[in-house]
Amino acid sequence: MTATDRIPVTVLTGYLGAGKTTLLNRILSENHGRKYAVIVNEFGEIGIDNDLIVDADEEVFEMNNGCICCTVRGDLIRIIEGLMKRKGAFDAIVIETTGLADPAPVAQTFFVDDDVRARASLDAIVTVVDARHVLARLEDSHEAEEQIAFADVILLNKTDLVSEQELEEVRQRVRSINGQARLHETRNCVVPLDEVLERGAFDLDRILEIEPNFLSEDDHEHDDAITSVSLKSDAALRPELFMPWLRQLTAEQGQNILRLKGVLAFWGEDQRYVVQGVHMLLDGDHQRDWRPEEPRTSRMVFIGRNLDPEALQRGFESCAVRAS
């Protein structure tokens, strides 16, 4: 089975009342000719109109594999396996998580379980953020911050309920947590669905558009705030240096690294190498040839707590081929 045969999975997260179910119903009702299997939490109250709805019970299991922060959603492993027996009944899967869900086990499920990986691929984590309440939520909820940190796509929703000044403050705060996600400002989650669904490969190209931005000290609101660090190297990387560096980094700091993504130019290779990770779990592969006009720049983004931008950049650069 090739990667293109895998069923794309979109994960919807967001704090209670942010508008997840509104977005889900929009996905299901718009006439796009796609059939979705929807996995919802069993305690969900608002009606969802779809042929194929499965109740999840958010069973988070620790993997007994020596990786200290490796948790998976056992229910998702079972449900995805069961759904696959209905061949042709759906084209894509949407998972709606509860407002208090930690996104890490959901994402890690798609890295850890070989049977899930063979059949389904995590297309994007979409986080719906309530522009009016998010700043308060970030003060009192660990999960609200992690949901933003894990996102590939962020819908900054209910923008009509805040002033332009408040909106700018929210924008800044969200960006300081996650500098790489695509950010859409919406009312009632009105967004073109192709900006949300089936983005492909975790929307990796997005990170190529981000310039490295080192945060100044006053950006830190508190010590364990989540931040993004972008790295860049114009010199090609040596895979025999880069791979051990990344493995050691994630082994040592994996608990603090929520997500990482990279598009890399390896010395002597004509194909782009893409890598992504959740905590200590890494997944990398050659993707496609570099285009002739494309600058062969390697970029990485780390999102996490207590990240040291200078040390990361130094480590990254030390994997590059030196100009002689």
Binding region for another protein (CB under 8 A): 42, 52, 54-55, 57, 59, 61-65, 72, 74-75, 77-79, 82-83, 85-87, 113-115
Q: Look up tokens 């207590």; give the residue.
A: 306
Q: Which CB sits closer to another protein, 60 or 167?
A: 60
Q: Phi and psi dihedrals of 265, rounded to 5?
A: -105, 115
Q: Which CB sits closer to another protein, 61 or 290?
A: 61
Smallest separation, CB 80 to another protein (Å): 12
150 exposure class (CB count in 10 Å sphere: 0-12, 13-18, 19+)? buried
Q: Which CB sits closer to another protein, 74 or 99?
A: 74
Smallest separation, CB 52 to another protein (Å): 8
Smallest separation, CB 71 to another protein (Å): 11
Smallest separation, CB 57 to another protein (Å): 7
Whether the Cβ atoms of residue 180 and residue 210 lie closer than 8 Å to each other = yes
Q: Which CB sits closer to another protein, 62 or 285?
A: 62
**Local structure of residue 19 (DSSP, 8 states):** S
Q: Measuring CA to CA, which residue among 40, 48, 10, 49 is closest to residue 191?
A: 10
Q: Which CB sits closer to another protein, 42 or 234?
A: 42
Whether the Cβ atoms of residue 130 and residue 187 lie closer than 8 Å to each other = no
Please name the helix (run of DSSP H) or strand (run of DSSP E) that holds residue 115, with its range, or none.
helix 114-119
Smallest separation, CB 92 to another protein (Å): 18
Write the DSSP string, 256-273. Answer: TEEEEEEEEEBTT--EEE
Q: Measuring CA to CA, which residue among 281, 285, 302, 300 is closest to residue 105?
A: 281
Please name the helix (run of DSSP H) or strand (run of DSSP E) that holds residue 73, with its range, or none.
strand 71-73
Q: Measuring CA to CA, which residue among 174, 155, 171 is closest to residue 163?
A: 171
Q: Which CB sits closer to another protein, 21 or 230?
A: 21
CA-CA-CA-CA dihedral for 95, 110, 152, 54, to nearest 10? 0
Q: Which CB sits closer to another protein, 114 or 217?
A: 114
Smallest separation, CB 53 to another protein (Å): 9
Smallest separation, CB 72 to another protein (Å): 8
Q: Which CB sits closer to another protein, 56 or 265?
A: 56
Contacts of 77 (CB under 8 A, 6+ apart): 109, 113, 115, 116
Smallest separation, CB 281 to another protein (Å): 14
Q: Measuring CA to CA, which residue among 276, 300, 272 is closest to residue 288?
A: 272
